[in-house]
């Protein structure tokens, strides 16, 4: 009979009494201790893990956007592009994750929906931070975070900074020589499509060779928004599939509210110029 494999014979370090191990480094005990169920329903664990993993990926999205924004400010485009590509990939990852949640039927969900009370993704401060950092800024969305001063402050700080799109538009202006009306760039409101901005982006798309950095930046932004839109679409479709047209636990009209959010344009001029080329 062959001997069972002993990894220590292969040199694997087997004792971690004194050294940092996998679980120590990743704080696995703390991470796995957070699954406090609010019902006896089998599917509640799926629901919690789906959201927690989404929030972890959102954390990384925020980290990448913040760094990309700083790099763009310093005219350091190449590493910023790498980060923006990563953000689009993360959204793709989140999009695939819906396939797991979709295995939960309406019957399964009703076994624990009541236990959720009024909690809802509507109150995800990281999701709102992502929107704010990209440029979709509605200060009215901050109110649900008043009970958590730390989250509220993070959102307020974000509104005081230029968004990723603002920074991209600064670069667009600097490299094309087209000066934009500063009134068009409010920090605390969603970006509204501006004809001069569209003219400048159009110049870029009509002459990519001259404006290659801007051209690549524009396509990175469009890619990011494309994946983000797919996330919103997957969300609303899953919601309709699971709760139909019931009101949301957060108090909104539910599917109707989410359908309205499908109309959001993060980088409107980049979409509008396409029909004119």
Ligand X SMILES: N[C@@H](CC(=O)c1ccccc1NC=O)C(=O)O
**Residues of the binding site for heme:** 235
According to CB under 6 A, which one of 38, 39, 51, 141 is a site residue for ligand X? 51
Q: How many chain residues touch ligand HEM (CB under 6 A)?
A: 24
251 in contact with ligand HEM (CB under 6 A): yes
Do residues 58 and 121 make contact, with C-beta atoms less than 8 angstroms apart?
no
According to CB under 6 A, which one of 250, 257, 265, 272 is a site residue for ligand X? 250
| CB-based burial label for 47 (10 Å; 0-12, 13-18, 19+) | buried
The interface region with ligand X, picked from 65-73, 83-91, 119-127, 191-199 by CB under 6 A, is: 119-127
> What Å distances lie between residue 224 and 10, 192, 217, CA to CA?
45, 19, 11
Cβ-based nearer residue to ligand X, 115 or 171: 115
Q: By rule CB under 6 A, what string of x and - marks binding of each residue 218-247 to ligand HEM?
A: -----------------x--xx--xx----
**Residue 238's binding partner, choosing from ligand X, ligand HEM, none, with beta-carbon cut-off 5 to 8 A by kind?**
ligand HEM
The residue length of the chain stands at 277
Do residues 226 and 90 make contact, with C-beta atoms less than 8 angstroms apart?
no
Q: Which parts of 254-273 interact with ligand HEM (CB under 6 A)? A: 254, 257-258, 261
Do residues 134 and 165 make contact, with C-beta atoms less than 8 angstroms apart?
yes
Do residues 270 and 202 make contact, with C-beta atoms less than 8 angstroms apart?
no
Do residues 57 and 51 make contact, with C-beta atoms less than 8 angstroms apart?
no
Annotated binding site for substrate: 47-51, 109, 113, 249
| Residues contributing to the site for ligand X (CB under 6 A) | 51, 113, 116, 119-121, 243, 248-250
């Amino acid at each position: 009979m062959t001997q069972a494999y002993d990894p220590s014979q292969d040199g694997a370090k087997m004792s971690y009494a004194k050294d940092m191990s996998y679980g120590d480094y990743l704080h696995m005990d703390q991470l796995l201790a957070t699954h406090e169920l609010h019902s006896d329903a089998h599917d509640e664990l799926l629901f919690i893990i789906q959201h927690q993993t989404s929030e972890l990926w959102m954390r990384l999205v925020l980290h990448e956007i913040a760094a990309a924004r700083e790099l763009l400010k310093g005219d350091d485009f190449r590493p910023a592009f790498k980060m923006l590509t990563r953000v689009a990939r993360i959204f793709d990852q989140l999009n695939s994750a819906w396939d797991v949640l979709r295995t939960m039927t309406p019957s399964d969900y009703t076994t624990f929906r009541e236990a959720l009370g009024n909690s809802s993704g509507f109150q995800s401060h990281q999701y709102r931070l992502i929107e704010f950092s990209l440029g979709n800024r509605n200060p009215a969305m901050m109110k649900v975070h008043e009970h958590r001063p730390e989250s509220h402050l993070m959102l307020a700080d974000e509104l005081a900074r230029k968004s990723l799109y603002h920074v991209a538009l600064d670069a667009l202006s600097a490299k094309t020589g087209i000066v934009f009306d500063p009134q068009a760039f409010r920090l605390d409101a969603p970006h509204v499509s501006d004809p001069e901005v569209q003219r400048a982006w159009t110049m870029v798309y009509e002459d990519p060779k001259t404006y290659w950095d801007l051209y690549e930046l524009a396509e990175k932004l469009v890619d990011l928004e494309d994946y983000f839109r797919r996330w919103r679409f997957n969300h609303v479709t899953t919601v309709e599939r699971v709760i139909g047209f019931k009101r949301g636990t957060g108090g909104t009209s539910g599917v109707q509210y989410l359908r309205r959010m499908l109309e959001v344009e993060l980088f409107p001029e980049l979409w509008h110029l396409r029909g004119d080329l």
